[in-house]
Amino acid sequence: MAMTYSKKVMDHFINPRNVGELEDADGVGEVGNAKCGDIMKVYLKVKNGILADVKFKTFGCASAIATSSMATELIKGKPVGEALELTNKAVVEALDGLPPVKIHCSVLAEEAVKAAIKDYYDRTGTAYDAALFADLESEHEHGDLALTEDYSSST
């Protein structure tokens, strides 16, 4: 069964934005499941409450890479509190949709952003409602793996 991806998904897969890591990150979030192959790591640099820089490294399928790329684009330059409001639905809509069996990749992207923000809050001693981060322990399943770095060199 062949999957149909939108032009935006293919663009963010072939030319991912914000790939890499931040050595001096203010917050780092890693989510995923090595058994199924989806691992996403998001790095945040915060200046005056604004996400001044955001990077990601993802090991996963085309949808995982595309959702990581789009999620970083959606939150970069935003206040931390606004970035915390990112939803998987917003990521899917920004990519002009995903095949139903790949929606979980957008959930992974949302969780990686939340995990990085939680880490930032923990590092800075910022108080937060723990319920905001209650969904960070889910597992994800799918195959057709690709490593993000393989595609970043062509951009």
CA distances to 2, 31, 150, 154, 155 from 111, rounded to whole Å, are 27, 7, 24, 27, 26
Q: Is 61 an active-site residue?
A: no
105 counts as catalytic:
yes
User: Choosing from 28, 40, 64, 105, which is the catalytic residue?
Assistant: 105
Burial state string for 59-90 with b = 16 or more CB within 10 A and e = fewer than 16: bbbbbbbbbbbbbbbbbbebebeebbebebeb
What's the sign of the alpha-carbon dihedral 48, 49, 54, 57? Answer: positive
Beta strands in the chain (DSSP E): 27-33, 38-47, 50-60, 146-147
Of 3, 22, 36, 136, the active-site residue reads: 36
> Most distant CA pair in the chain: distance in Å?
49
The catalytic residue positions are 36, 105
